[in-house]
Structure 1
Amino acid sequence: MAKYNIYKIEKVKESKLLEKLQTVGLSLAGQKSVNGFTLSFYFSKEPEDIDIWWADLYEGYFGLDSKPKNKVYFGVFLISNSSLSYAISMGKSHFYLKDFCDTDFGINLAERIADNNLKLKNSKLFGGKKSKTIISYQENSEFEYDSGESIHYVKAKTIDKDKWGEVASFGNSAQLHLEILPDDLPELVQAIDEELLKSPKIILPRATAIADKIKIAELDQILVQEILNSTNAGLQPAEATVSGVDFVFLGKNQYRFILDRQGQDVEGELNFSVLHDFINRHNIDLATNINKLKIKVSDEHNKGYTKPLKYFLDYVDDERHFLRDGDWHIFNQNYIEFLKKQIDDRIVFENPNINFSNSVFKQWRNDLSDEEKGCSRLC
């Protein structure tokens, strides 16, 4: 059974995506037309040799004239017509596709084709002691959420296993397990696009990206002060993130700070102490370089990627703004209404004769537990 990790590409960004694929070493290996779609396969024909981090440690035991290196192949299968563009990720290409895709696509699709049978979820939590969580569920567990929770990833059974596969994963992308060939993908993406036009069957609490450039610049400067002062306990390098439907755990990686041609390897964990050292050593004005400072990450196989500093920061302010994968987000009205409904339902359940009102809501909010108070400043 084939596994397809599907991204919905924003059509206006398709040309920029093709430029990016070329710059990272992908070239067009094959192309054909099927049912009005152009199917294009981009492949890393000659990936660079990559150093293996443990080769230095065990160099004296190899018995070789030179240290071994790895080759890491990756690819992208693009399904495109005049109005639609979807991409299938193979290998590390999910790191590149994420910058050109509709980041809400996976969760939007989950709200329409996932049934109420949850297997795994990843979310961000606000107002309690936990920041992020990855939870695995027993068989036949229904969707449930904590107050102050924003869903980033779910794995669940689907409503139609013949059409969508028995189990699917949803994040920025959607991963479906289907017995179909690549030439059948145009029919699949058309079915997906039709499904996205329907009303959702479930509602998942989440946030929306901030597009206002002035607001983004303002939040960036607030973030700069938090980084330099290190006073906010909620500001810390994220331990894990989701790229498409792939979990990326940061604890086992090696890091290198990069700004223009300046660089510095990180010894041990990624933290603010080493960040401050890099800023001070190179006399960096963080206020003007907050979006230029990057971090290169490589794992034990020396597979790597480079992302802006903001991508690695876990931060939320008192006005519901937070960083998700380096971009500013805010809890949308649907999310706030969801939290209000949770409290309203709880009031009605425990006090069926009470009518919901602002005064009742305020009193109820004051009675919430510490974990539940995360929603109080959102409602």
Structure 2
Amino acid sequence: MANTYNIYKVKPHKLEQLKEKLRTVGLAEQKTHVANAYSKTFYYSEVNPGNDVWWWDTYRTFFKDDLPAPKNIFNFGMLLCQHTAQPETIYAVSLGKSHFYLSKFIQLDFGIDLAIRMADENSILLKKSRYFTGTKRQDVSSYQQFQIDSYEPGESVDHLKLKAADKDIWGKRNIIFADSIQMDMDKAPLELSEIFEQIERSYQGDKIIHLPKLEAVTEELSGELDSVAFESLKRGEGGVAIQEFQVHGVAICFSFHDYDYRISARTEGDTFRKSLGNTLDIASVSGFIQDHAEITNINEISVQFKNEESGAFTKPLKELLDFPVSFDGADYFLKGGEWFVFNQTFMDYLKRSLESIDVVVEEDLIEADFQRWKAEKERKIAANEPVDDKLTYREAYFNQKICADRGFVLLDRQLTLIQSLKKKKNQYRVEVADIYKSGEIISVKISETNSELIYNIEQSKDSIELIKRKTIKFDKSVKTASLWFVFEGDIEKITDYNSIQFLLAVESWHKLVKGFGLKPKIYISKHVV
């Protein structure tokens, strides 16, 4: 008879913390068996008062008078397995809801890291991914026949259902890989040592699947990134993401509730709390931090979720944050409260897509020419001599020069009034593009600042979408959408620019442009000072 096992790998330095967590959630230690090089201890919800049934009060008038209030009782347990000769090797087998309590103590992506060494990529039946470009944030896809090497640029895979490559060792059944592995095996719990040893051997093998994914950073680096993230939060940068579904091990849990939120922080000297209503955003988080100078660490902050039906639960703020951090020339991302960096396969897919965009290396922007133009224009303005406009910034000069030399139409500063999609909000203005010619709209940006470059990309995305959806009136034909960047350094390919955040923004723009049936194009100029 096959048994289902959901196996996690525990970080050895977190073992005692895990045991304390098991105790606090009501898992009492039972018996320990030592067999085949592993000590196996079982924990069980011995005293389980159960949960209130939320609909009992709502429908109380329909029940008999003498019925006691019911409780939903869900028993759960965990088998903790530690190698007797190598105590740093620890596995946990979760039963029932115990997987909810494991996230802070396990090796994240343990299952995915195992899959790339022992799974058969052709047999993928289900794949869950997080996306860092385009409009999708997460996606779960099922397959009748998976096509190898069909991952999207900007995609990071974190959940797979497929078969093992070596059927003699792992059998022919499907296995689910994520933070844990879930498999059906014809083995009793006391025989799991054989599975653990096979996992350890597989980890020593070569990678047989090239999967785009995030990889965890060291704990030392994680501490430094926490400090950078905290300062970013104080400045109101980043975002908060309440996911519509979450993954706990191999379990994909969908959320069907709206919540009220309360943010809190516990420092050495005090505890601070603030109710936020039903909206949790970066502005409220930043304001809370600014109101309490005693808060100095991102790990001191947590958020309570409260709902009449499901009760209340609390999450560390870090698990809800959704923003990248640049540090020492690299970019890092939060997932489930842990810091990650993209692996080389992710970068290869991104690079391949970006380098498919038509790129034209264009004329330089000569700073001396701009300064002469600016001085002459400022002289004319001061002398009340006739001028077309009073714009004297670099982009105005560059755009006007391109139009004069090549017959483009100047759109710079031609703003279109748009009604906000939100009720009772004011109208806002959007700049359609900078220059236009023969079906091509071009947005120009002269900057070395990531935030300004990305803002220009986002503005171009907005204008393309508004034009194609006919939200704004634009009576010219559009067949090509272009970005024109003026960089300080020697950039010949867009992938020469050393910022993953910028490249992800370009890829997001690339997807949107192609999605509307337009041709994407990029111009690159150098700012010669």
The residue that corresponds to 1:73 in the other structure is 75
SS in 1 for 2:510: coil
The 3-state SS of whatever aligns with 1:313 is coil
Query: Displacement, 1:192?
Result: 0.6
One-letter amino acid of the counterpart of residue 27, structure 1: A
What's 1:177 paired with? 184
Q: 2-side partners of 1:205 and 1:248: how far apart?
A: 23
Q: Which moved more, 1:133-142 or 1:103-112?
A: 133-142
Paired AA for residue 61 in structure 1: F
Query: What is the DSSP-based 3-state SS (H/G/I as helix, E as strand, rest coil) of the residue aligned with 2:64?
Result: coil
- Correspondence 1:308 to 2:310: no
Give 1:195 shift.
Answer: 0.6
Distance 1:253 1:37, change over 3 A: farther
1:295 and 2:296 correspond: no
SS at 1:314 equivalent: coil
Q: Tell me: CA distance 1:196–1:57, structure 2 relative to 1, closer, same or farther (3 Å).
A: same
**Cα gap change, 1:289 to 1:187, in 2 (>3 Å):** same
Structure 1 residue 128 displacement after superposition: 1.5
Amino acid at match of 2:341: I
Distance in 1, matches of 2:113 and 2:45, equals 31
Inter-CA distance 161–59: structure 2 relative to 1 (3 Å threshold): farther
Contact 1:157–1:168 (CA under 8 A) maintained in structure 2:
yes
162-171 or 334-343, larger mean C-alpha shift: 334-343
Q: How does 1:186-265 map to 2 (within 5 A)?
A: 186-210=193-217, 211=219, 212=221, 213-226=223-236, 235-252=240-257, 254=259, 257=262, 259=264
SS in 1 for 2:104: coil
CA contact (8 A) 2:41 2:81 kept: yes
- 1:106 Cα offset (Å): 0.8
Q: Distance in 1 between matches of 2:202 and 2:316?
A: 34
Query: Which residue does 1:355 correspond to in 2?
Result: none
Q: 1:251 to 1:220 in 2, by over 3 A?
A: farther
Question: Hey, what does 1:354 align to over in structure 2?
Answer: none
Gaps of 5+ in 1: 348-357, 374-379
Given that residues 211 and 345 in structure 2 are in contact (C-alpha distance below 8 angstroms), is that contact kept between their aligned partners in structure 1?
Answer: no
1:323 aligns with 2:319: no
Please state how far the C-alpha of 1:236 moved relative to its aligned partner.
3.0
Structure 1 range deviating more: 173-182 or 202-211:
202-211
Distance (Å, rounded) in 2 between the aligned partners of 1:8 and 1:194: 14
Cα distance change on mapping 1:123 and 1:223 into 2, 3 Å? farther
C-alpha displacement at 1:154, in angstroms?
Answer: 1.2
Which residue of 2 is the match for residue 163 of structure 1?
169
Q: Map 1:1-379 to 2 at 5 A.
A: 1-64=2-65, 66-82=68-84, 83=86, 84-116=89-121, 117-142=123-148, 144-165=150-171, 166-210=173-217, 211=219, 212=221, 213-226=223-236, 235-252=240-257, 254=259, 257=262, 259=264, 271-272=280-281, 276=284, 288=296, 290-296=298-304, 302=310, 305-316=313-324, 320-333=331-344, 335-337=346-348, 339-340=350-351, 359=492, 370-371=510-511
Moved over 6 A (4+): 261-267, 277-280, 298-301, 365-369
- CA-CA distance at 1:360 after TM superposition: 6.2
Taking a change above 3 Å as real, the CA distance of residues 279 and 340 of structure 1, as seen in their structure-2 partners, is closer
Offset, 1:215: 2.4
Task: Give 5+ residue unaligned stretches, structure 2.
Answer: 358-490, 497-502, 514-529
Shift of 1:186: 0.6
| Range 28-37 or range 204-213, more displaced | 204-213
Displacement of 1:170: 0.9
**Aligned partners of 1:51, 1:313: CA distance in 2, in Å?**
31
Using the size of structure 2 for normalisation, the TM-score is: 0.58
- Match of 1:138, SS state, is coil
Greater shift in the superposed pair: 102-111 or 209-218: 209-218
Superposition deviation, residue 178 in structure 1: 1.4
> What CA distance in whole angstroms lies between the structure 1 residues aligned with 2:59 and 2:344?
55
- Change in 2 beyond 3 A, CA 1:163/1:60: farther
**1:88, CA displacement in angstroms?**
0.4
Q: Larger deviation: 27-36 or 64-73?
A: 64-73
What's the CA shift string for 1:53-85, capped at 9, x where partnerless? 222322222335543222221111112113221
Q: AA paired with 1:370?
A: H
Within 2, Cα distance between the matches of 1:310 and 1:156?
A: 31
Contact in 2 for aligned 1:8/1:87 (Cα 8 Å): yes
CA distance in 2, matches of 1:123, 1:300: 31
Counterpart-to-counterpart distance in 1, 2:44 and 2:312: 17
Structure having the higher Rg: 2
SS state at 1:226 partner? coil
Whole-Å Cα distance in 2 between the matches of residues 263 and 53 of structure 1?
27
- After TM superposition, the structure 1 stretch with the greater mean CA deviation from structure 2, 67-76 or 35-44, is 67-76
**Normalised TM-score (structure 1):** 0.79
Aligned equivalents of 2:314 and 2:95: distance in 1? 18
Give the aligned residue type for 1:15.
E
- The answer on whether the counterparts of 2:99 and 2:248 sit within 8 Å (CA) in structure 1 is yes
Cα contact 1:297–1:304 (8 A) shared by 2:
yes
